[in-house]
Amino acid sequence: MEEKKTNGKAEYIIELKDLTKIYDGKTVVDHINLKIKRGEFVTLLGPSGCGKTTTLRMIAGFERPEEGTITLEGKDIAELPPYKRPVNTVFQKYALFPHLNVYKNIAFGLKLKKVEVTKKNIFGKEITRLVNMAYMPVEQKVTKKDGSEVVKTVPFCRSYQMMTVTTKKGIKKLKKVNMYKKFIDDKVKHALKIVGLSGYEDRDVNSLSGGQQQRVAIARAIVNEPQILLLDEPLGALDLKMRQEMQLELKDMHKKLGITFIYVTHDQEEALTMSDTVVVMKDGVICQEGTPIEIYNEPTSAYVADFIGESNILDGVMPEDKKVLFAGAEFECVDTGFAPNEEVDVVIRPEDWVIKREGNGILNGEITGCMFRGVHYEMTCMAGGYELILHNTVEYKPGRKIGLYVDPENIQIMHKEHVNNTLPVRFTSNTTFDLCGGTYEFSPAACFDNCEYDEENDVLKINGEEIALKGKEAKVSFEFDSIDMNDDEYASPLAGNVESMIYKGKNYLVDIKTDDNRHIYADTEYLWDKGDRVGITIEKDKFTFSDCDFIAKEGFTYTGEEKNA
């Protein structure tokens, strides 16, 4: 994107630094850092509960952050009340005042507008004060009775000019026009023109359709010429056709007005269509930030790839640079900089698969399902034990054997966010430990290196030294596939709620949130629903322990990984 610099002003209009919001002990927005360029159209995108609306409300001033700063034009506004901020909001439910008509709704902000006025006080000292624009002193020519003209200073709301106006009957007349009223009138009419509602001034807001109300809400915000316009899922309540039309119009308005837009939505298509920059959020943190094309083509995590559009997300291994193994075949790719044999997530968009004759591709597969989706056919294909989704304009019937090829540039490779589960534990005996409030059994001989365990006498020896584990603390690691999920939470030591799940072609990777807000990831063949309560059972010899300060370092070799904080 081209770098804009206007009149020597800073490139970034607003900067969020370490912004944090906590509700009832729950961190909703977690140390967010974001810089927004002047005149940009930025979209905060994420599922409900990801903290996007809270972030917007902190910028608007309705929520006070627990931590962090919001710097607007070099000034920290985090503690300012909403009415002192040069930003305006378009609310999801419009929030038009039901007791005022369209005109008065739009003029509401204008009539409250304050301007700086420098005045001499009684001691002759100049003071600058904020006064309502209606009382701003202006010069007024007054014709006296004898015909001579004098210039007087009057409040703006009482200044007037002689003007030719056309009456309702079409007669031109010279009339005294109140300049303040005319000023507001012109602004309101201009705003209504921008949103395409000229002539609606006297309408009752309750008599308008959803789309029209939305337009009035936009007019009411932009009429104040805010430095930033905040839009909180403004199209959420509209039907599809209307929404698509408004998307284009909003984009157009953004171009015309040149105001910075910060837009919140959960609709990925909306975000991709309208924005200059998309910020994908999850659990109060920013996952990825970039242009719509970057976000779509180069997602940096499986989560983003899954959230934005359809995709095949598969487990892979990179044996060396520019080579990746997945679905039982070796593909060429363009990515470098991964550790040898690093486990990675591979993302391939359904439309990027090139379907060839069997044997001519890199991977062979069999079509298992085919659905007509308008522009293309959506097909499922079993290849190398994985279920893949393909989009193609040519129909391939189920049962057809095909070869699959992907252009190296279309393979997106990402570091895995989590390779295994690593969590802190406290031992409660030589064979049990407490994990997130659940008591798990483990077999010491299988889980510790150089370990002997005498079951009858409950004697544990590690590296030849006798140790009583009770009360000791350490970290435990276990693989995703060592977990057994079941729907009887009382039959398992620990239970949690399913937060999200990603289909990996063979199985689902499920993110389970325990009651003490820790995440446990599990592989499962079964489809669970978001919010499902599940029990977590783990086989007793699948644990590895690390950070065991109580074990003499000598000879202790640790095999687990410590990526998951």
Partner 1 sequence: MRNTFRKMLATPYALFMALFVILPIILIAVYAFVDSEGAFTLLGNFKELTKEKSLVNVIKNSVIAGLSTSLICLLIGYPIAYYLTKKEFNRTGVIIGLFLVPMWVNFLLRMMSTKAVFNVLGIPLGMGTVIYGLCYEFLPFMIMPIYTTLLKIDKMYLEGAEDLGATPVKAFWKVTVPLSLPGVLSGLTMVIIPSITTFAVSEILSDNKIKLLGDFIYNLKAYNLNMASAISLVLMVLLAVSMLITNKFSDGEQGGGIW
Positions touching partner 1 (CB under 8 A) are: 60-62, 81-83, 87-89, 91, 93, 95-99, 108-109, 112-114, 204, 206, 220-221, 224
Distance CA 445, CA 450 (A): 8
143 backbone dihedrals φ, ψ, rounded to 5°: -95, 120
Judged by CB, which is closer to partner 1: 87, or 548?
87
Judged by CB, which is closer to partner 1: 221, or 548?
221
State in angstroms the smallest separation of the CB of 90 from partner 1. Answer: 9
Judged by CB, which is closer to partner 1: 112, or 468?
112
With residue 372 as reference, give the H or E element that holds it.
Answer: strand 363-372
State in angstroms the smallest separation of the CB of 112 from partner 1. Answer: 4
Strand runs labelled E in 393-444: 401-406, 412-415, 421-427, 432-435, 438-441
Q: In the structure encoding, which two tokens stand for residue 208, read together? A: 């308008």
Residues 6+ apart with CB under 8 A from 550: 467, 469, 472, 474
Judged by CB, which is closer to partner 1: 185, or 441?
185
Judged by CB, which is closer to partner 1: 1, or 130?
130
State in angstroms the smallest separation of the CB of 219 from partner 1. Answer: 12
State in angstroms the smallest separation of the CB of 108 from partner 1. Answer: 5
Judged by CB, which is closer to partner 1: 93, or 173?
93
State in angstroms the smallest separation of the CB of 137 from partner 1. Answer: 21
In this structure, the strands spanning 12-23 and 67-72 are antiparallel
Give the closest residue to 254 by CA, choosing from 276, 278, 232: 276
Judged by CB, which is closer to partner 1: 45, or 96?
96
Sheet holding 465-466, edge to edge: 451-454, 459-462, 465-466
Judged by CB, which is closer to partner 1: 212, or 312?
212
In this structure, the strands spanning 533-538 and 353-357 are unpaired
State in angstroms the smallest separation of the CB of 462 from partner 1. Answer: 55
State in angstroms the smallest separation of the CB of 281 from partner 1. Answer: 22
> Measured between alpha carbons, how far is residue 356 from residues 323, 365, 400, 467 in Å?
21, 10, 11, 62
Axis crossing angle, helix 210-222 with helix 102-111, rounded to the nearest 10: 20
Judged by CB, which is closer to partner 1: 237, or 474?
237
Judged by CB, which is closer to partner 1: 230, or 355?
230
Give the closest residue to 523 by CA, choosing from 476, 479, 477: 479
State in angstroms the smallest separation of the CB of 323 from partner 1. Answer: 54
Residues 6+ apart with CB under 8 A from 492: 438, 486, 535, 536, 537
Distance CA 431, CA 460 (A): 9
Distance CA 537, CA 488 (A): 10
State in angstroms the smallest separation of the CB of 29 from partner 1. Answer: 18
State in angstroms the smallest separation of the CB of 85 from partner 1. Answer: 8
| Contact between 108 and 217 (Cβ < 8 Å) | no
